[in-house]
Structure 1
């Protein structure tokens, strides 16, 4: 009877004349540790600590300089062909971030613990003992970093990082005027979160062409995209709106006008006289994220937003029947002027567009 071949545990035959596998590769070991100057010389250690603190302080000074430049450098000033304000912002912000980055690198290279660690591979899932050991290692690393016993480094780092938040707060002013400032001094007709171009007696006109609408122009089931007349005649000065003023007015004043059977309308409380012979008017801007809506299903009176499928029942005060929209479309109260054209009774009674900070 023959003797079965010797294997290494993986069903592979092993030559018995070769040395054991553990003896094939010599352990390379570790080179002799070379101590850094800061590890053996207290003066070098203190000097490195001052260098790191100086870098963090430089970062803090650049941040302060950035704030000063924001208020003192005029946006029209130039340096050569470059805008002086943008140049100052770029250089000072780069200095603030660079000071923190280089300071942390110097801290790690010269002051944190300098020891070699051998780590063996383990299975992907760690045991409870390994997790506890990891937490202990993190705590040990925190102790070895010296952040607790180096108040100069710690405080200068905290000051530099903390100051970096101030430019972000200051730069928020460039996002535009607040709603209160807009109401007090509107840069364009209908500016601000709370108001649009619509006002009492303003005619409802067809989009693009700007022609006014009579109730007799609409049949049951019709949907018309419309705008406030001020977009075309400019309001007080009689000039059509252009540029930014036109875009602001149109983005907030766009509406849809529909006609349904009067007995199918379910008016909201206080809205009993907001329609004219079954004609209703709603904001065209979805209350979810502000997409324009005009996909109308005439038999159900449902208006569908193409972006995220929010669906509104126009016969029931534009109630949300499906989708992520949080509130109905704002309704514009309608009336008829002396010449028989549709006009608004007033501006919208609530802000148009996406919902914000739990309004309504």
Structure 2
């Protein structure tokens, strides 16, 4: 089972240009708010119509601009879990679940609804309406309705965006258990990198309407290729660089210094990414020493965030961010000088 998407749609000055494939797996579309993730889902579901392109699900053409094919949302069989679940407010849980059933035979319909009620642990809630349900119960009812329709794909549009962290964690675990036996394509839309890393096998980064190549989740977080993907993966320090005359050594003009890398570098300008937790206090044997002045100290929940100015850096150069567990931090006042280092293998080479 697979989903193939290639579409373009313009909204004023914004151009959505999405292209990816999803097999029998959970694929994340990861991007900042407004990058086009939800619009992509709406085009797949048939709620919005692309200007051009082609969408194919399990060999069925859902949309083809050249062949004038544009199936209705009902005919596409894509189960769409909206951010607010979109349960019918005037219907009971039983009626909401039954509304997704395609079976025409009454006994078959009733049996399927009963199965969904049991499967999603909705027993005893059948007569209640959405406003009488907790967030978790609403989510289970919405998923039961989706599964009752026997979807060929499941589309999850930021399912936890409006929840507090504790409830989000509970529902995330429940959702993962409900989806793990599903044999089909699952698209998971999110701007939360932790959520994506925990639940998805592959990820497609999106930036300003454009998709990047699909990659395994671990690979994107370990070695992002572009500046936008690095930012989405949580990299806080990104600086412009250029190749030097020395092998695998990059010049960083804004810092007025060079850094030794572990990979062959592009021949033109590029960027370097340094994760805040990869910086450490230098020893005599370390390469890439960075003498910095401590400018700001911020206590986070379980870590300390240090903002540092690299010695010799230009005035407009951004401060370097370093993070460490609180128990490893030996308090020092702002204005102190620290010598840090970054291992060559921890430096990201970015387009």
TM-score (norm 2): 0.26
Higher relative contact order (CA 8 A, sep 6+): 2
Q: Which has the larger radius of gyration?
A: 1
TM-score (norm 1): 0.26
Q: Comparing both structures, which one devotes a greater share of its residues to strand? A: 2
Q: Comparing both structures, which one devotes a greater share of its residues to helix? A: 1
